Amino acid sequence: WVIAYADDKRAIVDDLLYATRDPDTTVRNNAMRALALIVEYAQDRPDFGQISPAPLIDMLNSTIWTDRNKATMLLNALTENRAAALLQQLREQALPSLVEMARWKSVGHVFGPFKLLGRVAGLSEQEIGNAMARGEKDRVIDRIVGSSQIGE
């Protein structure tokens, strides 16, 4: 995770993305923590370039909690601008996992995946927040699942 403090942050992104596929969960977790710092840094620098979401999307489909948790955090940051191509990738490659995670019972663990799911479905930030605040998360998920024609 220390690598995120390198002066040339663009030069280390590929190394960190590579580390997200490491067999060791601690290495993956620390790589994603470092990437989170870089994503935050890059948000104010349009010239920074793109950070590939592919390994992060793969992590949404992991059976390891820390993989899913950190990938959700990073993908929420990367989808703030609602880039259509990234939202489509999430729809095609991780929709069942997002639905599963959004149905979890712990509010602290649900909001990140629910926010991603809402963005994929085209909901506004206000609609996403209101659904959570009103306890309508499951109704919204059911509507998304129905419109997406994915099985449960």
Q: What's the confidence (pLDDT) of residue 152?
A: 40
Contacts of residue 113, Cβ cutoff 8 Å, sequence gap at least 6: 68, 72, 98, 101, 102, 104
pLDDT in tens, 95-128: 999 999 999 988 889 999 999 999 999 999 999 9
pTM for the full model?
0.89
Do 132 and 115 touch, CB atoms closer than 8 A?
A: no
What's the rounded mean pLDDT across residues 125-151?
A: 85
Backbone φ and ψ for 125, nearest 5 degrees, come out as: -60, -35
Question: Please, which pLDDT band fits residue 148 given cuts at 50, 70 and 90?
Answer: low
**Cβ–Cβ under 8 Å, residues 110 and 101:** yes
Read off the DSSP letter of residue 48.
G
Tell me what the mean pLDDT of segment 43-58 comes to.
Answer: 90
